[in-house]
Amino acid sequence: MQKAAKTNPTQPKRLSTIEKWDIETDVAIVGYGGAGACAAIEAADADAKVTLFELASDGGGSTALSSGEVYYGGHGGTPIQKACGFEDSTENMFKYLMASIGPTADEAKVRNYCENSLAHYQWMVDKGAVYKHSFHDRRAIIPMTDDGLLYSGNEKTWPYSEQATPCPRGHALEIEGDNGGPLLWKIISEQVQKRGVDIRYDARVLTLIADDNNAVHGLVVRIDQQELNVKARGGVVLSAGGFCMNQPMLEKYAPKLARGNYPVGNPGDTGTGILMGMGVGANAINMNEGFISMPFYPPAETTSGIFVNAQGQRFVSEDSYHSRVAHYVLQQPQGRVYLIQHADDDYTPPPLLNADIAGTGETIEELEEELKLPIGMLKHTVKYYNQHAANGEDPLFHKAAEWLKPIEPPFVGLDCSADRGVILPYFTLGGLETQPSGEVLNLNGDIIPGLYAAGRTAAGVPRTGEGYNSGTSVGDATFSGRLAGKAAATRKT
């Protein structure tokens, strides 16, 4: 007897082969994380029948694991920004995001995100999010306090600091410690439950159901070892996260991310949402890009050190956001990078970095020798840096004056080369090309009827590690999920 072919995400089931529908709904959502939950809320509010399919035994995905930080601003400022003394115009936010994301930015999406940012903030607050009116005035990846606002990107880093007025936009929920994600998830999942949405757990979506023109009519899901055909009258929303847990896919599409050693995601981040879209002809874009970080702070004081490469030369402003630094670290010739700092008797390396001490020295010559750098290069770099730092200047990279002070002996050099133990967390930022509404586009730029994507399954607002701002991923997932849910619900009639 011939074995039945395995259902494959890149091979849609053809509508003409469907003999019966096992489940019928208006909006079928693949993945119950941040984007899926927000899609469900909006679709239900638009009077659609919504069915959510989640492969795990509970919802949350990476959103529930995250710090829950969201990037909001514009419109003169959110109430928190205003209370903390920051004025933020929509144009200023737009200019900053476009400049920091760079040439791969989707202008229409960035504009839409900025123009609706205050409304999205208000939507979250109406759903139960509480942000304390306090500014975290320390450089941090996330505040471990319950402060509501912090700088979470490269806003104060040159050249962006000259292209837009620096303004903090990272909003953290009022909770101490790294607990924002679970709290955010509690808030939005309660809203989903309140609306009586049909949620199917332990339900892995396998592929889409499409007609011969690739218009999407539903999906195939495996529940209790049965493959069920689901009809979605309005459409299918793919909100299944990214692909940081799929090693072959990473190596194929994003080899530079494959150099990372700490996937930042959940076990469901295997790219099936993206593959299902590709199966019906969707255009997958930005697939080589992702967030890759090197957590060299906290403590904030590490910013006063300098990164040098195998030539003993600096290559980045150390006041950059951690993923911007990682982006440049990975580009250095011969792959070697050291963080040079002053080391007192009680020196300890930055706790999250996991970097080995590669050398120490009472003099810079001694350190240079221990690090096996070309004779004289590190000496020159440190001398030049110190000379200008003493005057509060950094002619090469324009590090902000608050971090500029000469590096005094004794010295330490931490090995920050990739592949030598330093922590390099990463997640993907490539996905399906969509309109700001969430409608998925094919290779010709035409809309694929009945198909929507949101969150990390789509190529959204955040596009690169170099230009990443913390809060833009949860911000984009929740915002794009809302738009996709609304659009699919509207199409049902």
Q: Which of 116, 191, 214, 272 binds ligand FAD (CB under 6 A)?
A: 272
Q: Which of 53, 131, 135, 338 binds ligand FAD (CB under 6 A)?
A: 53
Place of tokens 């737009």: 94
> What residues contact residue 71 under an 8 Å CB cut-off, 6+ apart?
117, 152, 153, 169, 170, 171, 469, 470, 471, 472, 475
Instruction: Choose the binding region for ligand FAD from 49-57, 117-125, 160-168, 377-385 (rule: CB under 6 A).
Output: 49-57
Backbone CA torsion sign across 362, 366, 370, 375: positive
Smallest gap, in angstroms, from Cβ of residue 12 to ligand FAD? 14
**Largest pairwise CA distance in the chain:** 81
Nearer to ligand FAD, 33 or 430 (CB): 33
Nearer to ligand FAD, 264 or 358 (CB): 264
31 binds ligand FAD (CB under 6 A): yes
Structure tokens at 106: 């989707």
The amino acid sitting at 187 is I
CA atoms within 13 A on the CB side of 66: 25
User: Residue-wise over 313-325: b if at least 16 C-beta within 10 A, else e?
Assistant: bbbbbbbbbbbbb
The amino acid sitting at 116 is N
Smallest gap, in angstroms, from Cβ of residue 152 to ligand FAD? 8
Helix (H) or strand (E) holding 97: helix 90-101
CA distance 36 to 40: 6
Smallest gap, in angstroms, from Cβ of residue 60 to ligand FAD? 6
For the chain, the helix, strand and coil percentages under 3-state DSSP, each to the nearest 5: 30, 20, 50
Smallest gap, in angstroms, from Cβ of residue 259 to ligand FAD? 18
278 binds ligand FAD (CB under 6 A): no
CA distance 228 to 297: 48
Structure tokens at 353: 């970095």
Q: Which of 33, 148, 182, 218 binds ligand FAD (CB under 6 A)?
A: 33
262-263/204-210 β-pairing:
unpaired
Nearer to ligand FAD, 250 or 474 (CB): 474
289 binds ligand FAD (CB under 6 A): no
**Cβ–Cβ under 8 Å, residues 454 and 89:** no
Nearer to ligand FAD, 60 or 413 (CB): 60
**Number of residues this chain uses to bind ligand FAD (CB under 6 A):** 40
Nearer to ligand FAD, 157 or 473 (CB): 473
Nearer to ligand FAD, 135 or 315 (CB): 135
Nearer to ligand FAD, 256 or 388 (CB): 256
Smallest gap, in angstroms, from Cβ of residue 355 to ligand FAD? 20
Footprint of ligand FAD on residues 208-247 (CB under 6 A)?
239-241
- 46, β-bridge pairs: none
CA atoms within 13 A on the CB side of 457: 37
Q: Which of 26, 54, 155, 318 binds ligand FAD (CB under 6 A)?
A: 54
Smallest gap, in angstroms, from Cβ of residue 269 to ligand FAD? 6
Smallest gap, in angstroms, from Cβ of residue 429 to ligand FAD? 9
485 binds ligand FAD (CB under 6 A): no
Instruction: Choose the binding region for ligand FAD from 54-62, 74-82, 86-94, 342-350 (rule: CB under 6 A).
Output: 54-62
Which residue number places its CB atom closest to ligand FAD?
A: 33
Helix axes 117-127, 180-194, angle to 10 degrees: 80
Give 353: exposed, middle or buried? Use CB within 10 Å, 0-12, 13-18, 19+: buried
Q: Which of 266, 309, 381, 464 binds ligand FAD (CB under 6 A)?
A: 266
Footprint of ligand FAD on residues 416-475 (CB under 6 A)?
427, 455-456, 470-475
350 binds ligand FAD (CB under 6 A): no
Nearer to ligand FAD, 150 or 389 (CB): 150
Smallest gap, in angstroms, from Cβ of residue 93 to ligand FAD? 15
Backbone CA torsion sign across 238, 240, 246, 252: positive
Nearer to ligand FAD, 266 or 332 (CB): 266
Footprint of ligand FAD on residues 152-211 (CB under 6 A)?
204-205
Smallest gap, in angstroms, from Cβ of residue 457 to ligand FAD? 6
The amino acid sitting at 247 is Q
Q: What is the DSSP letter of 414?
A: E
Residue 224: Cβ within 10 Å count: 7
Phi, psi angles (nearest 5°) of residue 148: -95, -20
Smallest gap, in angstroms, from Cβ of residue 68 to ligand FAD? 6
What Rg do the C-alpha atoms of the chain give, in angstroms? 24
**Cβ–Cβ under 8 Å, residues 15 and 210:** yes
Smallest gap, in angstroms, from Cβ of residue 204 to ligand FAD? 5
Q: What is the DSSP letter of 256?
A: T
Place of tokens 């949405």: 197
Binding site for ligand FAD (CB under 6 A): 30-36, 53-56, 61-63, 65-69, 204-205, 239-241, 264-266, 268, 272-273, 427, 455-456, 470-475, 477
